[in-house]
Structure 1
Amino acid sequence: MNTSQHPIAVLGAGPAGMAAALGLIKAGHPVVVYERYPQARAAGNILNLWPPPIKALQEMGVDIVDLGAPCHTTFRNAKGRVRADVRIPNDVVERYGGGFIGMFRPDLYRRMLAALPDGVLRTGRAVTGMQDHGDGVTLRFADGEAVETPVLIGADGIDSMVRRHLFGPTPKRPHNLHIIGGFTLDDTVKTERNVVVLTHNRTTQGTYTSIRSQGRAGHQWWVLEAWPDDRAAPADLLEHAERLAAGFPAPLPQLVAATSAENVQRWPIRDIAPLPHWSKGRITLAGDAAHATSPYAAYGAGMSICDGFFLAQRLAGVDLADTDAVTKALVDYETPRIPHTREQVQSAYVLGKVFHHAPAPLRPLRDFVLDHTPLLQKQVGERNPREIVAQLDEMGEGILSPRAAGRR
């Protein structure tokens, strides 16, 4: 059977899966996205995106107008002293509508779903098995159906069955942290507008950021603390969050108090240790299936969207009947992405350790260093903008206009 005549198959309709589909459509390939749930649904409410994924979304045809609030990011101590100022170059801010975009996660899903052509997304389709037979991949579904595809993209999350098929069991790595977050569109709380304020006291991170949702201004917030992975969640999430937020300056306590209980969620923080490879034959990974990341990176969804961009860029113009060409394209896709995402995953893991698992006697010394040296400014305030600019440069002009090979 000539599987090159069949659509590329993407498993999972999260940001990675939808971005892969949109990017590949832009690259000229037919695509089908299989989602095991009855509908594509956002996993949570709060989200922020840096300029590279905004550029990717724009290139993929997603409407990014008024998608979120453009924000300037600072790290502060519990008294409000700035420890790091993330200074995105002005030309990047102007071109991509802000340095850090605060948004409502379901809004991003709606925009990406709206950009998908009819018939691309197929829900309620649970895959039970797969086989790469050299000239294509056979997918088997719970209802007994089998379909052929020239390329399979596993964008099926941290518990990815595609990753397990390729590389065997990959245990999740608990950080022994949890995050409680929420959002409010209550405009009576006085705040600094268009900012992300990441504040740390001795044991807890308290953060708030401006958002926009369907034309309305609001805020999202979260508190993050050490919490054993096997410990039950607090009985009352909002009450627990209010107690943690009380240790921070205004307006964080007021924003938490203005939030309805139904708009509060909790996530235990886990990742997977970075993988040495994402691809094997005609199958590859994207998003959390490849590089599940702690929220400390503030880049999990953003990296997932960029995966779709770079995957499409590498497969643009490739004859899907040519196994060698497909295999090379998938290796070319993963080769620069693995070190980039590994650095983000490991950096987030280390930051969680530094801020939440330092021994109590060392915390005053840690905070003195962060308050009185440029360490955090260099590690976060200056390095992040350099990486963002480098990523934008690596993306080239678009999916069909990659950066010249000699400049890679």
Structure 2
Amino acid sequence: MPALDWRPGKRVAIVGGGPGSISTGLAFIKRGYDVRIYERQPECKAIGGAVLLSTPVLAILRSYGVDPEDFGSYTVTYFKNKSGGERVKLPFNAEVERIMGIKGWHYGVLRSSIFKKMLELVPEGVIHADHEFTSYVEREEFIELSFKNGHQVTADILIGADGIRSMVSRQAFGEPNLFHTGIRLWLAWCDHIPDIPPNEGMISHDFQYQASFFPMLHDGKPGFEWWVVEPSWDGKPVPEDPKAHLTGILKDWAQPMPRFLEATNFDTQVYRWEIFNRPSMKKWSTGRVVCVGDAVHPVSPYAAYGMGMAIEDGYFLARALDGVDLRDLRAVNAGFELYEEERVDYVNHNMEFARFLGRMFHSIPRPLANIRDMIFDYTPLLSNFLKTGYLKKAEEETLRLKELQVV
């Protein structure tokens, strides 16, 4: 492993090896900082199935050097009921498309595929595997990190990107007070299926389940990601036969949802997640320590934005510290505050809005759920709700990324 520069005033230590960590590292490297990424596993590896990435995330990845061809193709998203009746067609923002040079809004991609492309951009010697973080000690002009293997590192700032059970966040902010959100996610993917439109995605609901699909790209080949969300609780038994369980849910669902069952290898292409959150935080930094991604804001799949927001966090954090001598704690804290001003309220809104959607679709008892469904089927309420609660704020956030615009 080559010896890389580690210059006082430029030293950025990142704990965690997921997409948020790698995005943060790439963003700081592009701004001339010395970066070391510490991952507790033998290698950095993305877990889980496919993900949806939105325009601002794609623009950030493009700025790092990820080929836009790896994003796949744009997708038109429909909200429907179980019978296939259309409730909402999410609109594209023509101005966002024009200035960002990216058609549409959401793109589906296998998490491991896009993460591999990100890892290919990381210089050799930046990632240090088999380093399980244990604690840090702050000094006046630097911070010291300790690892389970006995290794110690001196850096100027420490960035916690180590997930929902972050050890960095725990030391900095105390117990995370994680709580179950009341939903379980079955996330799956499969190869391309003929006759299913390649540029359409569907999010559909009955009185208690969500069943959805999206086209995606896997190693340059087309396929589909699909998922089911069901009511759950901490400690709910796991079905012994996931395929039989999901078949029971989808057997009467509108096409094409039932077709994905036979096209999917349930041993290698299906992942189950119990969805936990933590209370919203107003501060993501303290002293020389700051966090990104799930370490401070784990999010429900109803945001379709977990990986995306972590990638954005890293970019915004590096931008806020651009040109700062990281030995200068006052300047560092000013940069952290700018990062928090740009991100905290926006991210908390998305996290809380997604949690609300989860409760609305999966925790309302049957008589009230029937009324909810009638309102969504026959009025524009859901459309207005999604546009004001999600799209409007996301589009405004995108328009502020002026340095990533192409016109």
1:28 to 29, 32, 57: 32
- Which amino acid is 2:151 matched to? E
Unpaired stretches in structure 1, ≥5 consecutive residues: 402-408
User: 2:96, 2:398 within 8 Å by CA — same for their partners in 1?
Assistant: no
- Which amino acid is 1:172 matched to? L
Helix, strand or coil: the match of 1:70? coil
Question: What residue in structure 2 maps to residue 18 of structure 1?
Answer: 22
User: 1:68, 1:104 within 8 Å by CA — same for their partners in 2?
Assistant: no
User: Any idea what the Cα deviations from partners look like across 1:53-74, whole Å, max 9, x if unmatched?
Assistant: 1111111222332333321111
Helix, strand or coil: the match of 2:400? helix
2:164 to 158, 164, 175: 158
Helix, strand or coil: the match of 1:4? coil
Helix, strand or coil: the match of 2:14? strand
2:224 to 219, 244, 247: 219
Once residues 162 and 275 of structure 1 are traced to their aligned partners in structure 2, the CA distance between those partners, rounded to angstroms, is 15
Task: Please report how far the alpha carbon of residue 119 of structure 1 lies from its aligned counterpart in structure 2 after TM superposition.
Answer: 0.9
Say whether 1:267 aligns with 2:273. Answer: yes
Query: For this pair of structures, how many residues does the alignment match?
Result: 397
Task: Please report how far the alpha carbon of residue 396 of structure 1 lies from its aligned counterpart in structure 2 after TM superposition.
Answer: 2.2
Task: Please report how far the alpha carbon of residue 232 of structure 1 lies from its aligned counterpart in structure 2 after TM superposition.
Answer: 2.3
User: Which deviates the most, 379-388 or 81-90?
Assistant: 379-388
User: 1:180, 1:222 within 8 Å by CA — same for their partners in 2?
Assistant: yes
- Which amino acid is 1:119 matched to? G
The 5 A counterparts of 1:133-144 are 133-144=139-150
Say whether 1:351 aligns with 2:357. Answer: yes
Question: What residue in structure 2 maps to residue 279 of structure 1?
Answer: 285
Helix, strand or coil: the match of 1:191? coil
Give % identity.
32
Helix, strand or coil: the match of 2:70? coil
Once residues 145 and 129 of structure 2 are traced to their aligned partners in structure 1, the CA distance between those partners, rounded to angstroms, is 15
Once residues 385 and 242 of structure 1 are traced to their aligned partners in structure 2, the CA distance between those partners, rounded to angstroms, is 33
Helix, strand or coil: the match of 1:353? helix
Question: What residue in structure 2 maps to residue 78 of structure 1?
Answer: 82
Task: Please report how far the alpha carbon of residue 99 of structure 1 lies from its aligned counterpart in structure 2 after TM superposition.
Answer: 1.5
- Which amino acid is 2:341 matched to? T
Question: What residue in structure 2 maps to residue 117 of structure 1?
Answer: 123
Say whether 1:67 aligns with 2:71. Answer: yes
User: What TM-score does the superposition give when structure 1 sets the normalisation length?
Assistant: 0.94
Question: What residue in structure 1 maps to residue 48 of structure 2?
Answer: 44
Task: Please report how far the alpha carbon of residue 386 of structure 1 lies from its aligned counterpart in structure 2 after TM superposition.
Answer: 2.1
- Which amino acid is 2:124 matched to? D
Runs (4+) of structure 1 moved beyond 4 Å?
none
User: Any idea what the Cα deviations from partners look like across 1:36-61, whole Å, max 9, x if unmatched?
Assistant: 00011112011110101111111122
Once residues 3 and 217 of structure 1 are traced to their aligned partners in structure 2, the CA distance between those partners, rounded to angstroms, is 44
Task: Please report how far the alpha carbon of residue 382 of structure 1 lies from its aligned counterpart in structure 2 after TM superposition.
Answer: 5.3
Once residues 350 and 144 of structure 1 are traced to their aligned partners in structure 2, the CA distance between those partners, rounded to angstroms, is 44
Question: What residue in structure 1 maps to residue 3 of structure 2?
Answer: none
Once residues 228 and 254 of structure 2 are traced to their aligned partners in structure 1, the CA distance between those partners, rounded to angstroms, is 13
Cα distance, 1:180–1:330 mapped onto 2, change above 3 Å? same
User: Any idea what the Cα deviations from partners look like across 1:371-391, whole Å, max 9, x if unmatched?
Assistant: 122111011145533223211
Task: Please report how far the alpha carbon of residue 215 of structure 1 lies from its aligned counterpart in structure 2 after TM superposition.
Answer: 2.2
The 5 A counterparts of 1:365-376 are 365-376=371-382
Helix, strand or coil: the match of 1:139? strand
1:201 to 191, 200, 206: 206
Helix, strand or coil: the match of 2:236? coil
Once residues 369 and 22 of structure 2 are traced to their aligned partners in structure 1, the CA distance between those partners, rounded to angstroms, is 42
Task: Please report how far the alpha carbon of residue 91 of structure 1 lies from its aligned counterpart in structure 2 after TM superposition.
Answer: 4.5
Cα distance, 1:55–1:6 mapped onto 2, change above 3 Å? closer
Helix, strand or coil: the match of 1:306? helix
